[in-house]
Structure 1
Amino acid sequence: PPQILDVGPERVMTAPLYSQATFSCTAEGNPPPAYQWLQKLPTAQGTVLIRSSNSSLIISNVTYDYKGEYVCKATNVIGKEERIAQSDAISMQVVGAPQVLRQSGGREVVVVRGQDAVLRLVVCADPRPRTAAWEWGSLKLEAGNDFDRYKAEELSQDEREDCYEATLTVKEVDLSDQRNYYLVVENERGKDRHAVHLAVKENFLCAQPVSMATLLSIAAGSVLLLLILVCFTVYAMRREKCCFARRGDFRPSDLESERMKQQGTVES
């Protein structure tokens, strides 16, 4: 099986945000092994990503997404049997200014007029953010405060280490609430700013209320239609009874008398 001879640079490393980080791995085997660098994310699910298929891994622009443990995996095949060797884990910490994860909350939140809107973004920072606020127009709302129909929640711990969720709630949104809302986060190493767009859709079922005159017209039309149906039903029933009554006046003896009269006429 393959044998890993060396991995580096060290078992624990710290990389500044937006810097470059390099990992190296040396293994031997016959046949020569193939390499993979795996990253285990610091989440409850323990998600594993393949970061490289070479003996070295070069991260040219370190972000908080690269925080976690890295393992070098060497593999070769003898006959039809796959043989695997893995290195000890290398832990990489990322430090720097806050970074709002652009893919965390989406670029736009669409809400029907009159409903509540919840805007969410995830920010990562080490050290922890000391301030967080939502800004729109000329207003600024610090995390943990509320104003009128707006409430900015305190930062809550995300499932990822050194990451936090920021939430802004807008109650009973109106068309005037449609705009960009900016999350601004700062720590002693710097700050970051990112926007979420709130789009408000008109609720056409509620936007055009039915007038009282229209309701009365509909009610009057319904009553008139009902009266017509009742009259038609009564007329049909009376006509049917009349037909039955006429049939009831006819007797079989009448037919016999008529037949006798016709025979008498013929004989004479």
Structure 2
Amino acid sequence: MKKGGEKLLESLFLFILATSVDGVQRFAELPTYTEVNPGEDALLKCRISDKKGVCSWQKDNKPVGIYRGKYEWANENSPSDCSLWVRGATLQLDDGQWQCQLTASNYDVQDALSSPPAALAVRVPPQAPRILFNGSHIMPGQNITVPAGSRATVVCEARYGNPPAYIEWYLEKERLSAWSQTNASEVERPRVWAARSVLELAASRSARGRQLACRAHHPSYPQPYYKDAFTMLDVTFVPVVSIQGADASTLANLEEGSSALTLECKAEGNPSPYVWWTKDGQVLATNGPMLILAPVARNHSGNYRCQARNSLGTSDAARIDIDVKYSPRVTWVGPDTVVEANLFSKVTLECRAEGNPPPEYQWFHNPSPTSHTRGIPEGEYPVSSSAHLELHNVTYNQHGRYYCVAVNQIGLEDRSHQSEAITLNVLGPPVGADAGAAHAWSGNEARVTATVCADPPPRRAAWLWGSLRLDVPSQIGRYRAIDPSGVDGCYRYSLLVSSAAVSDARVYVLHVENERGFSSHAVTLTVHETEHLAPLIASALVIAALLVVITCLVIRCCKRRRVKKPSSQRTRSTLTGKHHDPRPRPCRPTPE
């Protein structure tokens, strides 16, 4: 401000001189602001046009005499030059406001001159800048502690300098705009100045640990003509946490026994926070922010949270869900390993399994009583796709072994586990077809058979015809009842008749009993005579051949009548003017 005001007065003065009447003495060059280092010489310039009066100088409104070696005219031989050398400048003697003056050219001419004051500043390097916060001087190595989100007022001062230092602020390499800078004369040393700059700093988490620098510029400093004061920003804030170490793909494919998981609760906070983990609301005994699950187990599944706390407060929780997959395992099938059910009753079998993802179920039935090996044996087939298998109106066909298979999918692989077998025994009286038929050739052996199913197995059986009864096994003459062959709870009974004759053709009845009842099954035997068989076959072949020939002739006739009409008929239709009906007519035999 001081230098700017002097320049304004100087410009105004020169303007007045330029517009004055020729022949009147005036300033050709005015004194200007000048700086000089202590002990060096300073030249205060002042030149006059049409000079007729006597030059003199004043400092701080007091006249200054000419003393060789201290204050000397710059050019005594020049009639227009009033410039003054100040030799060996000192702050106490020479720093101040200087004016160049000129007496009037004559006592009756009012053209005396007096220049505006021009400062001669004898440079004094200020002390190194220092930073103040909350009224206290921040020593080297100390930090400024500020809560995040608040505004901090930081002061930088550079004292006892002449002229005042110019102060800048930097956050790392970023230049900041100061709120204000003021320069005030030192009370005990009025000729030197205290420069003071105030910075309003918005504290954010990102500013934590960054360097704040105050830089004082002054020409009397050694190169590079500035000095810095430093401090570090210690921005305090409530912790913020995040969980690192697992992406969505990893979490989706965790398998018991074969996967491992390491999670870190990354906590940012100042002061340094304390970190802890919880699982489903229960605090885990972990040592620090690391959570290591190696290998993962099914009981590791759950909702995990991590939090952090410092003196300013507690963070929000970071959450992660861990879902450990494991293969299915059948834990129970029932109601028992052996189930007995009455014929035509209802049976319910149940299967329970554990697994993640929850398993799906399939029931397989093996009617064969043979021993079972791991895997689905040959002959088994699926009968249900639910955990409960309901059999309504059970029959002997549904006896046998039932197996439950639990299946789930982990990644792209199917996993399964098979239960132990449940043996279903269907209890009831013998059951079979009510009627049957058998054929034999005359003179050959005839076989009359009937199949029944029963549980418990039949204890008695007999063939009945006419007034005869033949127990199984036994034989009467040409008739022999043999032991049945059993397959899957069903029994095939056979009655053999040797040298069968036409007289043996009749209805034979099989009577079967077990502990729960009895049943009877009729089988009609037909005996064919062999001497009549060849003529019958020959006649059938001849008749069939004739039918084929006749059919072919009829088809050929119909095609010809549809495609081509006789020429005489076409001519007759043209002459009579009658239109021919193009619709096909039914084929009739053509008379010879």
Q: Same fold (TM over 0.5)?
A: yes
* Deviation of 1:16 (Å): 1.9
Give the equivalent residue in structure 2 for 1:22: 348
Q: CA deviation at 1:44?
A: 4.7
Structure-1 separation of matches of 2:491 and 2:328: 41
Correspondence for 2:309 = none
**Displacement of 1:82:** 2.3
Matched position secondary structure for 1:204: coil
Partner of 2:39: none
Aligned with 1:158 (options 486, 494, 497):
486
Q: Distance in 1 between matches of 2:385 and 2:392?
A: 16
Moved over 6 A (4+): 205-208
Counterpart residue number, 2:195: none
Q: Which residue does the alignment assign to 1:87?
A: 419
Aligned residues: percent identity? Answer: 42
Counterpart of 2:497 in structure 1 is 170
Which one has the bigger helix percentage?
Answer: 1
1:144 and 1:17 map into 2 onto residues whose CA distance is 27
Match of 2:473, SS?
coil
The alpha-carbon deviation at position 120 of structure 1 amounts to: 2.8
Q: Distance in 2 between matches of 1:91 and 1:99?
A: 21
Structure 1 residues 59 and 179: CA distance shift in structure 2, 3 A = farther
Out of 110-119 and 40-49, give the one that drifted further.
40-49
**What TM-score results when the alignment is normalised by the length of structure 1?**
0.64
Gaps of 5+ in 2: 1-326, 372-377, 536-592
**C-alpha separation between the residues in 1 aligned to 2:397 and 2:420?**
21
Code of the residue aligned with 2:425 in structure 1: it is: Q
1:12 paired with 2:12, answer no
Give the counterpart of 2:444 among 115, 122, 127.
115
Q: CA deviation at 1:56?
A: 1.9
State the Cα deviation string for residues 138-196 of structure 1 (Å, max 9, x = none). Answer: 4332212223322112x345243x54432200112223333332211012321012233
Partner of 2:514: 187
Where 1:19 maps in the other structure, the secondary structure is coil
Counterpart residue number, 2:455: 126
Unpaired segments ≥5 residues, structure 1? 209-268
Give the greater-gyration-radius structure (CA): 2
420, 430, 440: which one aligns with 1:98: 430
For 1:34 and 1:91, locate their aligned partners in 2 and report how far apart those are by CA, in whole Å. 22
Deviation at 1:80, TM superposition (A): 4.0
Q: Distance in 1 between matches of 2:385 and 2:528?
A: 47
SS at match of 1:82: strand
Higher relative contact order (Cα pairs below 8 Å, separated by 6+ residues): 1
Distance 2:404 2:412 in 1: 22
> Does the 8 Å CA contact 1:2/1:30 hold for their aligned counterparts?
yes
**Residues in 2 aligned to 1:202 and 1:33: alpha-carbon distance in whole angstroms:** 65
Aligned equivalents of 2:439, 2:360: Cα separation in 1: 47
SS of corresponding position for 2:394? coil
Q: Check whether the contact 1:122–1:158 (CA below 8 A) recurs between aligned residues.
A: no
3-state DSSP of counterpart to 2:397: helix
Q: By how many angstroms is 1:31 displaced?
A: 4.5
Number of residue pairs the alignment of both structures matches:
203
Q: CA deviation at 1:79?
A: 4.6
Which amino acid is the alignment partner of residue 18 of structure 1?
F
CA 1:12 to 1:43, structure 2 compared with 1: closer, same or farther past 3 Å? closer
Q: Which position in structure 2 is the counterpart of 1:52?
A: 384
